[in-house]
Amino acid sequence: MALLGYGRTSRDLQTLGLEAQVTALTEAGCERVWSEHGSGARDDRPEMLALLEYARAGDVIVVVRLDRWGRSLPHLVKTLTALDERGIGFRSLQDGIDTTTDTGRMVYGLMSVLAEFELSLIRARTRAGIAQAAALGHRPGPKPRLSPEQAQMAKRLYNEGEHTVGQIAAMLGGVSRATVYRALEISATRVAAVAATASDG
């Protein structure tokens, strides 16, 4: 069994310097330490990837603090699960977590439950947001755009005066009327003004 350390620091967290982490990991018995600078939100952490490639079954990865390894609770649990499947332990010095002990595995199990709960909350909020947007007539994601050819066709049909914007939208594959209005370069204010004039007439 080998203790393998990992340290990371970033500009948003200067209270736990890289040198201090390496010292703590070495004093904890790590025979080798991988360290790097970078945000926890980024996936491109080459030293972490190098450590994961080097580690073998029976080894234990050691960090000073949990947030030096995972960028979120779900991400942390996901990576710890992957390590567990490979027979690799995980230990956090300041958090008192060690997946090679019964107590540590119990804490890890609790973290898994909390991570799943957090994911369920995120999914629920996402569904609620999509439902609310749909109720208000908004589509999730970026605004759809017409190709130059479709935009040209929309302008030609509109200028002919024989089709409504809704009919043109249907001809173009069922896009929204707002998409057609954008292609026609007609603002919502102008649309409302035209509609008001028509109703007054």
Q: Which residues contact 73 (CB under 8 A, 6 or more apart)?
A: 111, 114, 115, 118
Pinpoint the alpha helices (H) of 57-97.
73-85
CA dihedral over 89, 96, 29, 5, signed as positive or negative: positive
How far apart (Å, rounded) are the C-alpha atoms in residues 172 and 153? 9
What is the model's pLDDT at position 188?
Answer: 46
The confidence score (pLDDT) of residue 158 equals 85
Q: What are the structural domain ranges in the chain?
A: 3-117, 148-200
Closest by Cα among 40, 47, 45, 89 to 68: 40
Nearest partner of 164 among 177, 149, 151, judged by Cα = 177
Span between the terminal Cα atoms of the chain, in Å: 87
Rounded to the nearest 10°, the torsion over CA 143, 146, 147, 152 is -150
> Is 10 tagged catalytic?
yes
| 8, 17 Cβ separation under 8 angstroms | no
Cβ atoms of 163 and 172 within 8 Å: the answer is no
Q: State the Cα–Cα distance between residues 189 and 181, nearest whole angstrom.
A: 11
Q: What is the pLDDT of residue 195?
A: 47
Whole-angstrom Cα distance, residue 15 to residue 34? 19
CATH architecture of the domain with range 3-117: 3-Layer(aba) Sandwich (3.40)
- Between vectors from CA 93 to CA 7 and to CA 16, what angle results, nearest 5°? 45
For every one of its 201 residues, what pLDDT tens digit does the chain have, with 9 covering 90 and above?
899 999 998 665 556 788 999 999 999 999 999 999 876 555 568 898 899 999 999 999 999 988 888 877 777 888 888 888 899 999 999 888 898 888 877 777 777 666 565 666 666 667 776 667 667 666 555 556 778 888 888 888 888 877 788 888 877 767 788 888 888 886 545 545 544 544 455
Question: Catalytic pick from 10, 72, 112, 176?
Answer: 10
